[in-house]
Amino acid sequence: MRGGRRRLKLARMNSIAKSSQEPRPAFGTVMAPMMTLARFQNGEWGRFEALPYGPIEMLPAAHVLHYASTCFEGFKAYRWADGSINVFRMDRHIERMLQSARSLVLPAPDPRQLEEMIRAAIDSNRDLVPEAPGALYMRPFLFGTTPNIGAAGAPASEATLIVLASPVWDYFAGGMKPLRIYIEDVNARTASQTGKVKTGGNYAAALGPTLEARRRYHADQVLFCPGGSVQETGASNFLLLREGRVLTRSLDSTFLHGVTRDSVLTLAREEGYRVEERVFDVAEMLEWTHTGEAALSGTAAVLAGVGTLIHHGEELRVGAGDVGPHTRKLRERLVSIQRGESRDTHGWTKRV
C-alpha cells in the first residue's frame, strides 16, 4: 500500500478503535496494516519477516489450492485499563495449531518461532488494539505451497506461515441477543476423524447447511447432532447450563477442542458447578432446555446464550427465551480475566 493511503487507513482504524460512537465493522473485515510471514523450504523454516498486509505470491499449482492443505488458529489480544496488551491462552492455541498441522501432514511450525511471529504481529500493530470490549484478533495460518497438481496423495514439502491481526468488536451483532440455533440431527459438520482439526475444509462443509438454516429459519448457527448425538455448531462449542450443573460433550475426534470451552469449564468448577463431560443426545438436550440454559462458547462468541432451538421445523424456547443467569455469570467471570479486571490465577494471560 502506498504511504499516503496507508497513513489514511491507519488514522481511520485508530479512530474506530478509540471511538465508542462510530459504527463497528463486522468481525474479521478490517485487517491491521502489518503481518508476519515465514516459509518452509528445503526441509526447514526460514526466519520470519514483518511485512505490510497485502497480496502474496503463490503459484496456481500450489498444493493448498487443490488439496486444501491448510490450518489456522484464532485468539485475542486485549488492551487492559493500564494500557498493557495481554494475549489470552496463546500457548494452547499454538499447541492446537501444531496438532492441526501434524494431522494434515503439513510442516509443523517451530512453536518458539510462531510465538515470536505472533508477538511481532501484535507489536507492529500495537496502536490498533481496541479498548474493551474490543480486542486484536490474531489469525495464524499455514498452507502448502508446493507446485504439484498431481500430489493428491503426497504431502506439501513447501509451506507458508502467516500471522494476520484484525481489530474486532462484536462477533454476533447485537452482543447479548439470545441466538436462534437450528438442530441438524442427521448430518455431521465434518468427517469424524478431522472434527478436531482447525482446517478450512471443515468450514466449507458446514457453510451450505448453515446458509440453508439461515434462509429457512433465520437461524444464527447450526448445531450438528449426527445420528442424534450432540456435537458442536459450525464455529463454536455447545454447553448446557442450569443451577449447579454444566453439561457438554466429552473430548473426542469429532469436534474442535475449544480453548474457551476449557476455560469456561474450569471457571464453572471453581464456582461450584458439577461439570459433566459426556455424550448426550437431542432428546436429553430438549428435556434440559425446558427449564435450563444453552450457550455457545468460542473465542469469537465468548459465551453466547441460546434463546431458541429449531427442531424439525418447530421453534422451541430455551428456558425463558433469554440469555440466562448462569450463562451471564460464567461469561462475566471469563471476560473479567481476559480484560484484566479480575486476577488471573491460572496463568492464562500473557503480557506482550
Ligand X SMILES: Cc1ncc(COP(=O)(O)O)c(C=O)c1O
Using CB under 6 A as the criterion, which residues of the chain lie in contact with ligand X when the complex forms? 74, 232, 235-237, 256, 258-261, 297-299
The least CB distance from residue 73 to ligand X, in Å, is: 8
Nearer to ligand X, 232 or 293 (CB): 232
Nearer to ligand X, 258 or 319 (CB): 258
Nearer to ligand X, 62 or 164 (CB): 164
Nearer to ligand X, 129 or 256 (CB): 256
Nearer to ligand X, 146 or 236 (CB): 236
Of 214, 213, 220, give the one whose Cα is nearest residue 176.
220
Which grid cell is 22?
A: 462510530
The least CB distance from residue 234 to ligand X, in Å, is: 6
Nearer to ligand X, 145 or 299 (CB): 299
The least CB distance from residue 230 to ligand X, in Å, is: 13
The amino acid occupying position 201 is: G
The answer for 7, left when phi > 0, alpha when psi is -120 to 50, beta otherwise, is alpha
CB neighbour list of residue 132: distance below 8 Å, 6 or more residues apart: 78, 79, 339
Place of cell 449447579: 244
Nearer to ligand X, 104 or 235 (CB): 235
H runs (alpha helix) in 127-281: 200-217, 259-270
Rounded to 5°, angle at Cα 272 from 259 and 93: 10
10 Å CB burial of residue 173 (0-12, 13-18, 19+) is exposed
Helix (H) or strand (E) holding 37: strand 34-41
The least CB distance from residue 301 to ligand X, in Å, is: 8
Of 140, 145, 142, give the one whose Cα is nearest residue 166.
140
The least CB distance from residue 134 to ligand X, in Å, is: 17
Rounded to 5°, angle at Cα 302 from 296 and 306: 30
CB neighbour list of residue 21: distance below 8 Å, 6 or more residues apart: none
The least CB distance from residue 61 to ligand X, in Å, is: 29
CA gyration radius, the chain:
21
